């Protein structure tokens, strides 16, 4: 049997995805049941426990496959990036009306009706998928009315299938967003989550973790002496970290140093990070 990354393939000694039958060993194989994330942000944990570490997050409207539900926890795989983990059962919903639009702002509010003076009923991150069922206008402000009856500012959405032209500009919208280990939303995000979400909004779905991205995004290349020749959109990797170049000398990243999404000069980052973790391990160009 070929070894497979359990972060991307749903298999355990007792249970596995039916699509893996014949390639992995497991006590039994089951077909995943379709479901959808029904809360703003769902933590995806390493184990079926609220004490377990968070590996990543799924967003409202993300589609998942459920392989097992037991004692309030579901073992799932995200369909967008293939990530496998445990999600609290009450974070899941059925796949009812298909999503039509995606949130394009880092964060937005849900209202119980089309009026910004109503008490907020919820919050959504960039990348969340919603079903728009109608439109309304109140005092000159246009709203999208969702299938749930809630409303969101229409200008904060865009139709599915429309993408940002520049993924770096998307990443820059997250400046000063708090750093969150495992975070993948506008409420808190880590370095590889920032890369993944920004590229997703630009129409490119990539893998989640830094090591996965360092092996799969674009093409590897070697900069010139003194890190010359880098350009906007290039990715710089360290062991366990990634940054996006905003030009030939500056970068943006979700930084554990500032605990925010921050701009930093590449030379300064190389010196600062190298003190503890060594120099860059690779460069990739989309």
- The residue behind tokens 């849900």 is 110
Q: Are residues 148 and 89 in the same domain?
A: no
Q: Are residues 129 and 200 in the same domain?
A: no
Q: Are residues 118 and 82 in the same domain?
A: no
Question: Is 119 inside a domain boundary?
Answer: yes
Instruction: Please list the helix, strand and coil fractions of the chain in percent, rounded to the nearest 5, in that order.
Output: 15, 40, 45
- pLDDT recorded at residue 268: 97
200: left (phi over 0), alpha (psi -120 to 50) or beta: alpha
- pLDDT recorded at residue 2: 66
Q: Are residues 45 and 125 in the same domain?
A: no
Q: Are residues 203 and 144 in the same domain?
A: no
Q: Dump pLDDT digits (tens) for 24-36.
A: 999 999 999 999 9
Question: Is 57 inside a domain boundary?
Answer: yes
Which residues 6+ apart lie within 8 Å of 131 measured at CB?
Answer: 96, 97, 98, 99, 100, 101, 146, 147
Distance CA 63, CA 119 (A): 29
End position of a domain, from candidates 65, 93, 121: 93
Which residues 6+ apart lie within 8 Å of 169 measured at CB?
Answer: none
Question: Is 149 inside a domain boundary?
Answer: yes
End position of a domain, from candidates 60, 93, 126: 93
Q: Number of H helices and number of E strands within the chain? A: 4, 25
Cα distances (Å, whole numbers) of residue 229 to 195, 199, 238, 242, 280: 21, 22, 18, 18, 15
Total domains in the chain come to 3
Domain containing 219 equals: 167-285
210 closest CA partner among 231, 181, 171: 181
Question: Is 41 inside a domain boundary?
Answer: yes
What burial class does residue 60 get, using C-beta atoms within 10 Å of its C-beta: 0-12 exposed, 13-18 middle, 19+ buried?
A: buried
pLDDT, block means (10 residues), the chain with 286 residues = 89 98 97 98 98 98 98 98 98 96 98 98 98 98 97 98 98 98 98 98 98 98 96 97 98 98 98 92 98
CATH number reported for the structural domain that contains residue 126 in this entry: 2.30.30.40
Q: Are residues 136 and 220 in the same domain?
A: no
Q: Are residues 61 and 152 in the same domain?
A: no
Question: Is 190 inside a domain boundary?
Answer: yes
- pLDDT recorded at residue 3: 80
Distance CA 164, CA 170 (A): 7
- pLDDT recorded at residue 69: 98
Question: Is 60 inside a domain boundary?
Answer: yes
CATH number reported for the structural domain that contains residue 212 in this entry: 3.90.1720.10
Q: Are residues 173 and 278 in the same domain?
A: yes
Q: Are residues 189 and 277 in the same domain?
A: yes
- pLDDT recorded at residue 276: 83
Q: Are residues 229 and 273 in the same domain?
A: yes
Question: Is 231 inside a domain boundary?
Answer: yes
Q: Are residues 215 and 265 in the same domain?
A: yes
Q: Are residues 125 and 87 in the same domain?
A: no
- pLDDT recorded at residue 39: 98
End position of a domain, from candidates 119, 142, 159: 159
Question: Is 11 inside a domain boundary?
Answer: no
């Amino acid at each position: 049997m070929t070894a497979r990354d359990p972060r991307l393939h749903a298999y355990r000694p007792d249970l596995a995805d039916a699509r893996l039958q014949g390639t992995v060993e497991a006590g039994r194989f089951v077909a995943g049941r379709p479901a959808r994330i029904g809360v703003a942000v769902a933590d995806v944990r390493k184990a079926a426990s609220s004490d377990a570490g968070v590996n990543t997050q799924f967003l409202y409207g993300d589609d998942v496959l459920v392989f097992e539900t037991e004692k309030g926890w579901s073992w799932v795989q995200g369909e967008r990036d293939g990530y496998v983990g445990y999600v609290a059962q009450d974070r899941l919903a059925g796949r009812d009306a298909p999503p039509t639009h995606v949130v394009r702002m880092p964060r937005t509010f849900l209202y119980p009706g089309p009026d910004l003076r109503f008490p907020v009923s919820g919050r959504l991150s960039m990348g969340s998928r919603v079903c728009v069922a109608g439109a309304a206008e109140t005092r000159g402000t246009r709203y999208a009315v969702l299938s749930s009856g809630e409303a969101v500012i229409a200008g904060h959405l865009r139709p599915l299938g429309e993408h940002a032209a520049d993924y770096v500009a998307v990443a820059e919208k997250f400046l000063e967003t708090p750093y969150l280990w495992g975070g993948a939303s506008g409420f808190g995000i880590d370095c590889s989550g920032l890369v993944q979400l920004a590229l997703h909004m630009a129409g490119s779905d990539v893998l989640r973790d830094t090591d996965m991205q360092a092996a799969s995004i674009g093409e590897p290349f070697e900069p010139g002496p003194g890190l010359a020749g880098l350009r906007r959109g290039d990715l710089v990797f360290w062991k366990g970290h990634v940054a996006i170049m905003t030009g030939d000398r500056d970068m943006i990243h979700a930084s554990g140093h500032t605990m925010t999404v921050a701009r930093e000069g590449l030379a300064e980052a190389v010196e600062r990070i190298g003190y503890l973790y060594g120099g860059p391990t690779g460069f990739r160009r989309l």
